[in-house]
Amino acid sequence: MPKTTLNTLTHIYVSCLLFISILLLPLMVTQPSISANEQTNDEEVGELIYNHEVVYACAGWLKPDKDQDKTSIQLHKFICGVYLGMVKEQNEYHQSFIEYFTEKQDKEMVDFAGVYELTGCNISSLSHKDFAELYLDFMTKNEDIMDYNFYGSLHGTLEPYCNSLRDKEIDFYLNESGDRRRT
């Protein structure tokens, strides 16, 4: 009997400690909060990503200032990678959608995929660095759209890359006079 009582008391004691620690742990850990002097704007929660933000991040990675430290360059690389990674992730889902409905032989759904295509072509083989360089080149030539939505400029950014992919798909041969002809 005393051993059972001891086990029961130990079990109750451990249970109470667990319960109290679970209850008090969130109160003991400091949580970030908005102080009274900070203003919040609920409209900023769903704010768009603008070209100037992405240009700043990618230029800080690929074209850093001379006095920019390595940590700052790595941070710019990370942020640029997040922006471009979102686009590449969407591309992967888009390509999977197309592949799935191609296998199902549902031409209507495959055609529908072309309506909402964000990138203009499959960019899965495009590296983050090449993507960022294409983007910065495009934005250098189109500074007037710096305040536009980042996603709205993707077709223009990726147009040279997509055109090169399409050109590779076209078969050519030389005819008897030495001219290139499309097959």
User: For 121-180, how does the pLDDT look when each residue is reduced to its tens digit (9 = 90+)?
Assistant: 899 999 999 999 999 999 999 999 999 999 889 989 999 999 988 877 666 555 566 565
Is residue 27 very low, low, confident or very high in pLDDT (cuts 50, 70, 90)?
very low
Please tell me the pTM assigned to this model: 0.66
Domain-located, residue 155: yes
Look at residue 58 and tell me if it is in a domain: yes
Residue 36 lies in a domain: no
Q: Return d(Cα 74, Cα 144) in angstroms, integer.
A: 28
Specify if 183 maps to a domain: no
Domain annotation covers residue 157: yes
Give the DSSP letter of residue 20. Answer: H
Look at residues 6, 49, 47, 42 and name the one whose alpha carbon lies nearest to residue 135.
49
State how far Cα 138 lies from the chain centre. 19
| pLDDT computed for residue 2 by the predictor | 57
- For residue 124, the SS3 value is coil
In a domain, 17, yes or no: no
pLDDT bracket for residue 115 (50, 70, 90): confident
- Could you list the residue range(s) of the whole structural domain that residue 125 is in? 47-162
**How far apart, in whole angstroms, are the C-alpha atoms of residue 122 and residue 100?**
15
Tokens of 153: 């400029």
Residue 171 in domain: no
Q: φ and ψ at 33, to 5 degrees?
A: -140, 165
Mean pLDDT of the chain: 79
- What percent of the chain is modeled with pLDDT above 70? 67
What is the structure's pLDDT at 69?
92
Work out how many domains the chain is built from and give that number: 1
